[in-house]
Amino acid sequence: MSTKIYNGYKFDKDYSLRELDNLLTGVRKPIRVQVLKDFFGQILREFVFVYDCYCTFGEDAVVKRMKNFENVEVKTPIKWSVIFFEIANFFEHKKNEAEKSSYRNPFFDFTCEVHILPIKDKILFLYYGEKRELQEILESFPFVQEYIFQNQTDKPDEISDEEWEQREKDWEDAIIDYVPANHGFTVKLAPAYIPFISEELLAEVKPYMDSLNERVQYVFTSKLGTAEKNDIEKKLIEINSWQDAWNLFLNL
């Protein structure tokens, strides 16, 4: 039967359950930070974009944009606390929806979990998640080792014949009927809930925000109003829209 384990790993030792729990607790910490940083970064980028459009085109642009968020009706004059919470609710809804869906959605899906499959002398596991940066955090730990296998193509040159054969045997032992869900157990590494954003987290998000050129391009192509790129850039610099949006965000 065809076997393809493209998301396979093993632990460097045959750990006890208590040791395994301690190791994975350590993995959860940096993954939690990354998830929160990415999630709130999405919200803050959208908030700044909406504010930039407001500064360039006026309140009508905000009303138009917010209709994209499940047809949210925004009244004028604009209340920025309402705008923020509508944006945050939208992104949280999309996140929850993506994580329950069978369709891939790397932008909204923050799933990060491992399905652990103990065998006689090793502990193998499968990784499930859409965001590569979370997978890289897991791979950065010294006790995590790549352990892929597939029998439809030739093995990678850097893996010996003996090791490739051992991998095949190990995965057959771990998933006897080729259905991982019938064996082992799953551990979730991403946070189960998203707390309200803090100033400490905002400080981590800020360096990764869009540049002025990127923000100008987003406003220019937004179809929420008409203006030349140079005029948009001058306007955003003149009124310091980024700092205004940042201050609004901090004071919500």
Q: pLDDT by residue for the chain (252 residues), tens digit each?
A: 567 899 999 999 999 999 999 999 999 999 999 999 899 899 989 999 999 999 999 999 999 999 888 767 888 889 888 898 899 899 999 999 999 888 888 899 999 999 999 999 999 999 999 999 999 999 999 999 999 999 887 888 899 999 999 999 999 999 988 899 999 999 999 998 887 776 777 777 777 788 999 999 999 999 999 999 999 999 899 888 878 887 777 676
Residue 195, preceding bond cis, omega within 30 degrees?
A: no
By three-state DSSP, how is residue 116 classified? strand
Cα distance between residue 48 and residue 210, in whole Å? 9
Cα distance between residue 230 and residue 211, in whole Å? 15
Contact 76, 63 (CB under 8 A): yes
What is each CA distance from 174 to 2, 8, 62, 129, 139, in whole angstroms?
15, 11, 54, 20, 21
User: pTM for the whole thing?
Assistant: 0.86
How many separate domains does the chain show?
1
Where in the sequence is the domain holding 81, given as residue range(s)?
4-250
Specify the DSSP class assigned to residue 101: S
Cα distance between residue 96 and residue 93, in whole Å? 5
Q: Is 124 exposed, middle or buried (0-12, 13-18, 19+ CB in 10 A)?
A: buried
Q: Which pLDDT score, from 0 to 100, does residue 252 have?
A: 63
